[in-house]
Amino acid sequence: MPAYGRQQPIRSGWAQKRWHIHFRSARMNTMTTHREHTVGFLGLGNMGQAIAGRLVAAGYDVVVWNRSPEAADELVAAGARRATDAREALAAQISFSMLADDAAAEAVLSETNLAGGVEGRIHVNMASISAAAADRIQAVAESAGVGYVSCPVLGRPNVAAEGKLNLLVAGAPEHCDAVAPYLAHCGVKQWRFGDTPRQANAVKVAMNFTILHALQAMAESITLVEAHGVDASDFIELMSNSLFGGAVYAGYGSMIAERRYSPPGFRMPLGLKDLGLAEELAAEQSVELPTAPILRDRFERALADPELAELDWSAVAEVTRRR
């Protein structure tokens, strides 16, 4: 069996030296401008911490919450305030969440937690959830008098920490306009996809479905050239510098070529989750996805393999590579 090499960690205790330098300079420039604005942020995994950190660095008064309270420790040390519960974070005029999946999002963004707070609140859900879940959460939010915006993101945690995400936005125009200045600290571009929040979620599902295909395409192509004595890294260098430029082929391609799957930036089970979201979205409109069963087989095999299950989702390529 090949040894799966380790990448450089995405962060060292999350607040790496480079981030601290950026944080100090950003706060000196902005805290007098934004400190009077309280922002809530819920869900502090790798991506949530990175995005919340951008808002803290921008000088906002950020109230943070996570199911596991210790996840907020470094943000609190950097200037955020710890919420006692989810309801406190959601009481802010503008709040954001980055929760793991449909179940987590619906449990936290509940009628009870959204009740109360100031008038005219807006919640921005940045998680990769199903379009159907977005509909349900929107209905709950609106019944509580809260505007709801979907804003799933494109990019890994290190990209989020640099404020270089692509942000997929949908919701009532006045709500999207209101949150745009906050999102400007988190990404390089805000892509608007309609007045209904679920539209942004549909776009994110389709984008991730495309990435799944790219991972499998690279797995097959690398396996093909390796079988004929061609070095995988040379092949990926050609691919990413000629016909297939961009973050997916260059980034994941080199990871696959070099078998650099740990620590995971995006875990294997989340890849299968995203495939399921695409299958559900397709079923809503009776859209056929002929390649979905193949991708499902690859991910199910990877998750059944203890050597692959805990690695980055790009390690799904090894299922094909082990010919």
- Spot the catalytic one: 17, 164, 189, 204: 204
- Secondary structure of the chain as H, E, C letters: CCCCEECCCCCCCCCCHHHHHHHHHHHHHHHHHHCCCEEEEECCCHHHHHHHHHHHHCCCEEEEECCCHHHHHHHHHCCCEECCCHHHHHCCCEEEECCCCHHHHHHHCCHHHHCCCCCCCEEEECCCCCHHHHHHHHHHHHHCCCEEEECCEECCHHHHHCCCEEEEEECCHHHHHHHHHHHCCCEEEEEECCCCCHHHHHHHHHHHHHHHHHHHHHHHHHHHHHCCCCCHHHHHHHHHCCCCCCHHHHHHHHHHHHCEEECCCCEHHHHHHHHHHHHHHHHHCCCCCCCHHHHHHHHHHHHHCCCCCCCEHHHHHHHHHCC
- Clarify whether 204 is annotated catalytic: yes
Residues serving a catalytic function are: 204
